[in-house]
Amino acid sequence: MRKDHSPPPPESGSSVSPDRPWFTRRSTLVVGVAALAPACLAGWVLTQVMTGAGPDEQQPRPAPLPASHSALSPGQRDAKPGATPSQSPSTSPTAAASTPAAAAPAKGSLTGRTVVIDPGHNTGNFKHTDEINQQVDIGTNRKECDTTGTTTNSGYMEAEFTLDVSQRLRAALEAQGAKVVLTHQADRPWGPCITERARIGNEANADAVVSVHADGVSAGSRGFHIILPAKVKSGAADTAKIVGPSRELGERIAGNFARTTGSAPANYLGGGTGLVVRDDLGGLNLSTRPKVFIECGNMRDAKDAAQMTSPEWRQKAAQGIADGIVGFLGG
Q: How far is the CB of 158 from Zn ion (least distance, A)?
A: 5
Q: What phi and psi, each to the nearest 5 degrees, are found at residue 109?
A: -70, -15
By CB under 5 A, residue 8 contacts Zn ion: no
Cα separations in angstroms, 301 against 150, 154, 290, 298: 12, 11, 30, 6
By CB under 5 A, residue 278 contacts Zn ion: no
By CB under 5 A, residue 120 contacts Zn ion: yes
Cis before 60? omega within 30: yes
Q: How far is the CB of 306 from Zn ion (least distance, A)?
A: 19
By CB under 5 A, residue 184 contacts Zn ion: no
| DSSP-assigned states of every residue in 29-94 | HHHHHHTS-HHHHHHHHHHHHHH--STTSSSSP-SPPPGGGGS--HHHHHHS-TTS----TT-STT
195-215: b (≥16 Cβ within 10 Å) or e:
bbbbbbbeebebbbbbbbbbb
By CB under 5 A, residue 25 contacts Zn ion: no
Nearer to Zn ion by C-beta: 25 or 197? 197
**String of contacts with Zn ion for each residue 143-172, x by CB under 5 A:** ------x-----------------------
* Number of shown-chain residues binding Zn ion (CB under 5 A): 3
Nearer to Zn ion by C-beta: 118 or 279? 118
Q: Which residues, listed in sequence order, are joined to residue 136 by a DSSP beta bridge?
A: 143
- Catalytic site residue 312? no
Q: Which parts of 197-236 interact with Zn ion (CB under 5 A)? A: 213
Residue from 144, 158, 248, 295 carrying the catalytic annotation: 295
Q: How far is the CB of 297 from Zn ion (least distance, A)?
A: 12
Distance of alpha carbon 235 from alpha carbon 138, whole angstroms? 8
**Which of these segments, 56-64, 120-128, 134-142, 243-251, binds Zn ion (CB under 5 A)?**
120-128
Q: How far is the CB of 283 from Zn ion (least distance, A)?
A: 10
Q: How far is the CB of 90 from Zn ion (least distance, A)?
A: 33
By CB under 5 A, residue 316 contacts Zn ion: no
Whether 73 and 226 have beta carbons less than 8 Å apart is answered as: no
Q: How far is the CB of 108 from Zn ion (least distance, A)?
A: 32
Residue type, 164: D
Nearer to Zn ion by C-beta: 8 or 149? 149
**Which of these segments, 113-121, 183-191, 237-245, 305-313, binds Zn ion (CB under 5 A)?**
113-121
Q: Which residue's CB atom is positioned nearest to Zn ion?
A: 213
Whether 324 and 255 have beta carbons less than 8 Å apart is answered as: yes
CA-wise closest residue to 183 among 154, 155, 212, 153: 212
DSSP at 192 = -
Which segments within the chain are labelled E, that is strand?
114-119, 135-137, 142-144, 179-182, 208-215, 225-229, 233-234, 237-238, 275-278, 291-298
Nearer to Zn ion by C-beta: 143 or 213? 213
Active site (catalytic) residues: 295
Binding site residues, Zn ion, CB under 5 A: 120, 149, 213
